[in-house]
Amino acid sequence: MSKGKVLVDREGNKFLIKDASKDYHTKFGFFGKEDMKKAGKIKSSTGKAFSIFDASFIDLYRRIKRNAQIIPLKDVGLIIAETGINKSSKIVDAGAGSGGLSCFLAAIAKEVTTYDIREDFIEIVEFNKKSLELKNLKIKKKDIYEGIDEKNIDVITLDVPEPWKALDSAAKALKAGGFLVSYSPTIPQIMDFVEAVRIRDDFSCIKTSEIIERIWEIEARKVRPKSQPIGHSGFLTFVRKI
Ligand code: SAH
């Protein structure tokens, strides 16, 4: 990933420069376009020291365009770890939303196809796909409840209001042993999803989990959880095709 530069100072002030061909202005002064070609330590026009380096995938990812709420990184982490997504994985995802999950997965998997029914969301994902240079991400305007065209899929991720309606499509598309992951914010959704899985004979290994991330503040001997509410995002249910 060569696009973009990151400026960071010792206090953790951080700027993502998307267009490194121009001067860049901050509240700490500006950096000239010739500074963008440097690596390591540079100084702003007011003399404040910063480090400059090439933006990595995560620097660009944190700044993607978003319309719907994107799935938080803590939950992306569990999806990858539980299903073992890797460079040979073929994945189907729905709904695309802003492409938060599908873009992250495309950066590590072989191929990701994401479905959405809304044109406005598809345009946002197209934009994010381009800015992250993800050539292995396919975007489809299609209702996931109506069927999945791809076959022999390793992992299907669902972030849709009625995930149980996608079980028939998912069962046909997944390879044996493949994972279906459903992300839902409310308990009735996971109750209905798990119940619908249980009455079938083609899924097993049901596991539902919620990840709670607590950030800590560490300042000399003042070491404690940051004073912030522990927000709820969603529950993740994992099942395997048998
Ligand atoms: N996981 C996404 C956010 C998804 S938001 C991210 O990380 O960015 C939920 C999306 O599901 C919405 O964009 C909505 O249009 C889409 N959606 C709802 N029902 C759907 C269906 N039946 N098939 C495909 N997409 C659907």
Residue type for position 57 = F
User: Mean pLDDT score of the chain, rounded to an integer?
Assistant: 95
% of the chain residues with pLDDT over 70:
99
Question: Which residues have CB under 6 Å of ligand 1?
Answer: 68, 70-71, 94-95, 97-101, 115-118, 121, 143-145, 159-161
For the CA of 143, the closest atom of ligand 1 is 23
Confidence bin at 18 (pLDDT 50/70/90)? confident
* Domain ranges in the chain with CATH number 3.40.50.150: 61-241
Q: How much of the chain, in percent, has pLDDT values that exceed 90?
A: 88
At 24, phi and psi to the nearest 5?
-130, 125
Å from CA of 214 to ligand 1 middle: 27
How would residue 199 be classed by pLDDT, with cut points 50, 70 and 90?
very high
Distances (CA, A) of 72 to 79, 108, 129: 11, 17, 18
Q: What is the DSSP letter of 112?
A: E
Q: Which atom of ligand 1 is nearest to the CA of 97?
A: 13
Instruction: Please give the number of the atom of ligand 1 that sits closest to the Cα of 144.
Output: 23
pLDDT tens for residues 82-118?
999 999 999 999 999 999 999 999 999 999 999 999 9
Residue 149 alpha carbon to ligand 1 centre in Å: 17
pLDDT above 90: residue 68: no
Q: Where in the chain is the domain with CATH 3.10.330.20?
A: 5-55
pLDDT of residue 39: 83
How many whole angstroms from 92 Cα to the centroid of ligand 1?
Answer: 12
> Is residue 204 a contact partner of residue 239, using CB atoms and an 8 Å limit?
yes
Q: Which atom of ligand 1 is nearest to the CA of 118?
A: 15
Q: Which CATH architecture has domain 5-55?
A: Roll (3.10)
pTM of the predicted model as reported, rounded to 2 decimal places: 0.94
Res 1: pLDDT: 45
Q: What kind of architecture, by CATH, is found in domain 61-241?
A: 3-Layer(aba) Sandwich (3.40)
Supply 113's token pair. Answer: 């196809």
Q: Return all residues near 8 (Cβ < 8 A) that are at least 6 apart.
A: 14, 15, 50, 51, 53
Q: pLDDT band at residue 229, thresholds of 50, 70 and 90?
A: confident
Q: Is the pLDDT of residue 131 over 50?
A: yes
Mean pLDDT of 196-221: 96
Instruction: Identify the pLDDT of residue 2.
Output: 52
Q: What span, in angstroms and rounded, lies between the C-alpha atoms of 111 and 70? A: 20
Whole-number Å distance, alpha carbon 182 to ligand 1 midpoint, is: 12
